[in-house]
């Protein structure tokens, strides 16, 4: 009887330690960005999008894309 009790206590002890460790990792873990990091990331993404838009809609790029598409559509099959 005494060994059964000790075995069950040992199993419970391991389960409690495992559960406690998982709880500590969830509470303590710093996953993700903070609000200020989101703001900086969003600002950087918007700036990159604006620069990319300006480049793609510039005269030289539009002309090159138009010529490329026209050449592709004029191909004989």
| Residue 64: domain span | 2-75
Q: Taking residues 51-76, report their average pLDDT.
A: 92
Whether this model's pTM surpasses 0.85: no
Domain count, the chain: 1
Helix (H) or strand (E) holding 63: helix 59-73
Is residue 1's pLDDT more than 70?
no
Residues 6+ apart with CB under 8 A from 62: 56
Asked whether the beta carbons of 55 and 61 are under 8 A apart, the reply is: yes
For residue 4, name the pLDDT band (cuts at 50, 70, 90): low
From the list 57, 33, 28, 63, the residue with the least C-alpha distance to 45 is 33
- State the pLDDT at residue 54: 93
45 or 6, higher pLDDT: 45
- How far apart CA 71 and CA 57 sit, in angstroms, is 20
Length of the chain equals: 77
State the chain's mean pLDDT as an integer.
Answer: 82
Q: Taking residues 34-57, report their average pLDDT.
A: 92
């Amino acid at each position: 009887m005494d060994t059964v009790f000790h075995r069950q206590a040992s199993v419970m002890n391991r389960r409690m330690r495992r559960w406690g460790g998982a709880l500590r990792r969830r509470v303590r873990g710093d996953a993700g960005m903070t609000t200020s990091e989101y703001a900086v990331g969003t600002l950087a993404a918007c700036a990159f999008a604006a620069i990319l838009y300006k480049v793609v809609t510039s005269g030289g790029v539009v002309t090159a894309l138009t010529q490329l598409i026209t050449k592709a559509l004029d191909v004989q099959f």
